[in-house]
Amino acid sequence: MGLSLPKSRFWWRLLFTSSPDIEESIFWKLESIGINNVAVQFSPEDPQQRTFLVWLPSFEWSRSDRQNLINSLQPLAECFDVQISKVTWQKVENEDWSKSWKRAWQPDPVGENLLILPAWLDVPKEHSQRLILRLDPGSAFGTGSHPTTRLCLEALEKNPPLKLKVVDIGSGSGVLSLAALRLGARDVIGIDIDSLAVRSSFENLKLNQIDSTRFNFYLGSAEVLIEQLEGKLADLVLCNTLAPVLEELAPNFDDLLLPNGRALLSGLLVDQVPKLTKLFEDLGWNISACMKKNNWALLEIKRHESRENP
């Protein structure tokens, strides 16, 4: 950040709109090809539309390269039966792009009482009574605006994890861990298979001045998490990932949750709910709630009573 180009060069700023359903896919695709100068905007009054902004140095991106970039994003939209529209390229004269990038991020109220706030902004007066979740969205590991993340945040707010031990699988930016702690969780252990995500989680929780004894994040999979728990099972598991990953993780939940514990599972499409429901019920879990937002769903699972009281 803070990079300035020579005066003879400039930035291309790409803008396009699409559905929130593909937000995480867009971030993933851009990051996979080395593009990290990205922001997303949306209005609470129009939550079904996202405006994506991407900054590209002109000397690295020819006209054909820029068109190929757009073409590479189209299949992501087609997977969700949505469109990428209003595509424009703006020539931005030599500037500190990070200032322009930061201006694109805005405070984001979630649910009744939460506010996701970019780290460099002051708390807006109209949201001063909300619980503040400060994030540095410099890396695309989950900014809270995707429907699956919002489902998790709203579920946490509806049933706060007061004095509970929480596990966060696929911690990403750490936004769910942060929300859990802000809502009264005793402590959080998180894992992610991406080392940059683990670092992002640490940095964002420190940014919020959370007592470092109340959280820890590890690089690895469920097996690493089980090892780090050292037999001290969790009251609540948060898992915002993808349906195939949930299928792989399903057999591990017995080794993660206390008998009266619960898990919030998100990242699955609505049409994937029946298959996941059957899988977890076959493993002895009860689907205690199902919440939906756009094309996405969240399942809350608990142990069957027959398993709790054999």
pLDDT one-digit tens code per residue, 46-67: 767 888 888 888 888 888 999 9
Domain boundaries, the chain: 11-104, 109-308
In angstroms, the CA 171 to CA 215 distance is: 12
Q: Which of 14-18, 103-107, 194-198 has the highest mean pLDDT?
A: 14-18
285 neighbors 258 (Cβ within 8 angstroms): no
Longest dimension (CA), the chain: 75
Mark out the alpha helices in 105-216 (DSSP H runs).
Answer: 147-158, 175-182, 195-207
Give residue 55's pLDDT. Answer: 86
CATH architecture of 109-308: 3-Layer(aba) Sandwich (3.40)
89 neighbors 66 (Cβ within 8 angstroms): yes
Q: How far is CA 120 from CA 5, 116, 136, 233, in A?
A: 23, 12, 8, 37
- DSSP letter (8 states) at residue 144: S
Q: How far apart are the first and last CA of the chain?
A: 58
Predicted model pTM: 0.78
Of the candidates 51, 55, 49, the residue with the CA atom closest to the CA atom of residue 37: 55
Give residue 188's pLDDT. Answer: 97
Phi, psi of 89 (to 5 degrees): -115, 125
119 neighbors 102 (Cβ within 8 angstroms): no
pLDDT one-digit tens code per residue, 236-284: 999 998 899 999 999 999 999 999 999 999 988 899 999 999 999 999 9
For the domain spanning 11-104, the CATH number is 3.30.70.120
Whether residue 4 is predicted with pLDDT greater than 80 in this model: the reply is no
pLDDT one-digit tens code per residue, 15-32: 999 988 888 888 888 878
Of the candidates 93, 128, 91, the residue with the CA atom closest to the CA atom of residue 113: 128
Please name the residues in contact with 51: beta carbons below 8 A apart, sequence gap of 6 or more: 15, 16, 17, 40, 41, 42
Whether residue 148 is predicted with pLDDT greater than 50 in this model: the reply is yes
pLDDT one-digit tens code per residue, 121-147: 899 999 999 999 999 876 555 667 788
Using alpha carbons only, what angle is made at residue 279 by residues 278 and 280, rounded to the nearest 5 degrees?
95
Mapped onto helix, strand or coil, the DSSP state of residue 150 is: helix
Please give the structure tokens belonging to residue 222: 């469920």
Give residue 307's pLDDT. Answer: 45
Give residue 293's pLDDT. Answer: 85
Q: How far is CA 107 from CA 37, 56, 81, 121, 291, in A?
A: 19, 25, 29, 8, 24
283 neighbors 251 (Cβ within 8 angstroms): yes
